Amino acid sequence: MRLRGLRGLMVLTAWAIGASGCANFGYYVQSVSGQLELWGRERAIDDVLADPLTPAPLKRKLGTVQRIREFASRELGLPDNASYRRYADLERPYAVWNVFAAPELSVKPLQWCFPFSGCVKYRGYFSKAEAERFAASLAARGYDVFVGGVPAYSTIGWFSDPVLNTFIRYPEAEVARIIFHELAHQVVYVRDDTAFNESFAVTVEQEGVRRWLEREGMHEQRSAFELKQGRREAFTALVGRYRDRLDALYRSGEAEEHKRAGKAELFRAMQEEYRQLKAGWSGYNGFDRFFAQPPNNALLASVAIYTQMVPEFQALLAREGGDLPRFYDAVKRLAGLPREERARELARLHPSRAVSDRKPSRQDGV
């Protein structure tokens, strides 16, 4: 094991031991084991490319990744470090599986607090079975739950994150999107504010991919990405509309029985609207996995967490004239503000969105 891995092992072990008093010790054990397994599978991309046993398609993909990685630092001002310069094949379809949960009659997701990353509104597992067991335990307590596989995650600069088999197979623009997104977390990360962190990273990824395709992409690639981005925005808008309607219902003074009936009706309407939306997508079904289980409050939370403040960050980027370093500095300034003041500042960037929607609330963890 490399020196970094040994040092990381010491840090992670101390983390697990120190955290055992505030959360389930078994969860931290699986986190440490999963990270160590990943490190054990890493190889420098240059070594993988030089290996005669490496399949040619993988070599081509990794060569593209190297260009994307250099572009990220040279053109987007993202960290120039050891992240995404190594490759690991995890021999599974996703890097981790995230568990989202929300009360039966609330769109506010639960959150869990960790020593390094602070409080986040999901709980990640390296094992799908363990994620599903934890989700089942929450469901048994009456929570809405959703388990979603994700192709990459960030250690927010604590360690060097590798390229993974879980996303290397994606189209070039999608690979770039993931790398730009995860590197953005190393630029700015605010403890206990998941929506802020993810919306910032989504804004960086979108701008980064646009610039990458302008510089490197073929016309067909740009068209394909723009089409997919349009569908992603339509899906996000659909979920956002129904999240707002459900939030209004849950906040109303109606009896719980009425709220449950209204909830069921709104989710039926959302599913029908999604079917109508998808009918115009020429067979594209990329969001079907969100409806693989009956939709619920946790499903909506899994989408809103990543997109809730994107319009505000896009407005901030525009205010800074599209200059990414200036944008990063402005975001860092916001990150240094108290939580409520940060929310007000963001709301002013997009006046059409109600300040009350941006007002933070501290949801109790479980």
Task: Give the other-Cβ count within 10 Å of 17's Cβ.
Answer: 12
Rg of the chain's alpha carbons, rounded to an integer?
21
Q: Which residues have a Cβ under 8 Å from the Cβ of 149 and sit 6 or more positions away?
A: 93, 94, 96, 97, 98, 128
- As a whole number of angstroms, the distance between CA 173 and CA 242 comes to 29
Q: Please name the residue ranges forming H helices in 188-284.
A: 194-216, 219-251, 256-279
- As a whole number of angstroms, the distance between CA 217 and CA 209 comes to 10
Sign of CA dihedral 274, 153, 109, 260: positive
Residue-level pLDDT at 269: 96
Q: Are 2 and 41 in contact (CB under 8 A)?
A: no
Residue-level pLDDT at 141: 97
Residue-level pLDDT at 305: 86
Q: What are phi and psi of 230, to 5 degrees?
A: -65, -40
Q: Are 365 and 113 in contact (CB under 8 A)?
A: yes
Beta strands in 61-122 (DSSP E): 86-88, 96-102, 112-114, 118-120
Task: Give the other-Cβ count within 10 Å of 287's Cβ.
Answer: 19
Residue-level pLDDT at 352: 62
Of 2, 29, 26, which is closest to residue 13 (Cα–Cα)? Answer: 29
- As a whole number of angstroms, the distance between CA 150 and CA 160 comes to 18
Q: What share of the chain is helix, strand, coil (3-state, %, to 5)?
A: 60, 10, 30
Q: Terminus-to-terminus CA distance in the chain, angstroms? A: 36
Per-residue pLDDT tens listing for the chain (366 residues): 444 444 555 455 444 444 444 456 778 888 889 999 999 999 999 999 999 999 999 999 999 999 999 999 999 999 999 999 999 999 999 999 999 999 999 999 999 987 766 788 999 999 999 999 999 999 999 999 999 999 999 888 889 999 999 999 999 999 999 999 999 999 999 988 988 999 999 999 999 999 999 988 777 888 888 898 899 999 999 999 999 999 999 999 999 999 999 999 999 999 999 999 999 999 998 888 888 788 999 999 999 888 889 999 999 999 999 999 999 999 999 999 998 999 899 989 876 654 444 443 434 445
Q: Would strands 112-114 and 118-120 be described as parallel, antiparallel, or unpaired?
A: antiparallel
Residue-level pLDDT at 184: 97
C-alpha dihedral over 294, 295, 301, 304, to 10 degrees? Answer: 140
Of 174, 170, 149, 159, which is closest to residue 42 (Cα–Cα)? Answer: 159
Query: Residue type at 308?
Result: Q
Whole-number Cα distances in Å, 110 to 42, 150, 188, 278? 33, 19, 23, 30
Task: Write the pLDDT tens digit of every residue in 110-166.
Answer: 999 877 667 889 999 999 999 999 999 999 999 999 999 999 998 888 899 999 999
- As a whole number of angstroms, the distance between CA 331 and CA 314 comes to 11
Task: Write the pLDDT tens digit of every residue in 306-341.
Answer: 888 999 999 999 999 999 999 999 999 999 999 899
Q: Is 304 exposed, middle or buried (0-12, 13-18, 19+ CB in 10 A)?
A: buried
Query: Residue type at 249?
Result: L
